[in-house]
Amino acid sequence: MDFIQDTEPDIKKPIIIAAMQDMGNVGSIVINFINESLKTRKFRIAKTSFPTYVVDKGGHIEIPDESWEYRYTDGLIVFGSGNGQPRSNMELNTLCQDVIDISKKYSAKFIYTLGGYHTNRIFEKNPKTYITTTSQKLTKQMEGLNIDITPQKSIITGFNGLILGFAKKNNIQGIGMYGELNEPEIPQYRSAISIIKTIERLTYRKLGNTNQLEIMAQETEQKFKSQNQ
């Protein structure tokens, strides 16, 4: 894993929001939305050193550009999006550690991560966001705010779960937010909207107008419905 620092942002004690592509593309949808809405600025890139595939363009191949960006705005560092996640456990752990190192460098006290939560519950157009935290004390605080807690024990794989473990080991508070979804194979814009609203509620910070995400949700649902008729 290679790390390239473009600039040195003037930022202290930011909130970190870090997530990568996962089920329903929820992580990427939210990260891209925040970056576009808040006009964040890139300052660092994480790039995989050893691609595990090439792309056949029809007679010639190209090497994929697998990289993930650190971006910032006032009081906030946003990391992630990109295409997929590291394909080796070593690179995944290296990436998580770099997020922690950046968090410490700028004295961040809190990390939010997010992703999809596959469920069989029929929620129509109003998926819940479930949260889990790095401590029982923090979970009790969330319960006091009537935030939905993950309803059962489970293993959270990939970056959007593992980063919480790295945060806990480094005494940084963290919250994982996971939006309900029934169909993990298609983009889940409503799950993303639910997570965005939850972040806004907990950070007292407006992230932007989600009307365009609502339109994209409707278009995706109509397309999926027509394909399955």
What is the rounded distance in angstroms from the CA atom of residue 204 to the CA atom of residue 114?
18
Q: 228 falls in which pLDDT band (50, 70, 90)?
A: low
pLDDT exceeds cutoff 90 at 54:
no
Residue 51 pLDDT? 72
Non-local CB neighbours of 158 within 8 Å, separated by 6+ positions? 20, 22, 85, 92, 115
Q: Where are the domains of the chain?
A: 2-54+61-227
Residue 202 pLDDT? 94
End-to-end distance of the chain based on CA atoms, in angstroms? 45
The per-residue pLDDT of the chain, averaged, comes to: 91
pLDDT tens-digit profile of 65-117? 788 999 999 999 999 977 778 878 899 999 999 999 999 999 998 999 999 99
pLDDT tens-digit profile of 143-167? 999 999 998 888 888 899 999 999 9
Higher-pLDDT residue of 22 and 135 is 135
What is the rounded distance in angstroms from the CA atom of residue 79 to the CA atom of residue 152?
28
What is the rounded distance in angstroms from the CA atom of residue 141 to the CA atom of residue 129?
16
The sign of the CA dihedral 151, 157, 162, 163 is: negative
Residue 102 pLDDT? 97
State which CATH number among 1.10.1060.10, 3.40.50.10900, 3.90.226.10, 1.20.1340.10 fits the domain covering 2-54+61-227.
3.40.50.10900
pLDDT exceeds cutoff 90 at 203:
yes
Mean pLDDT for 211-226 is 88
What is the rounded distance in angstroms from the CA atom of residue 18 to the CA atom of residue 79?
5
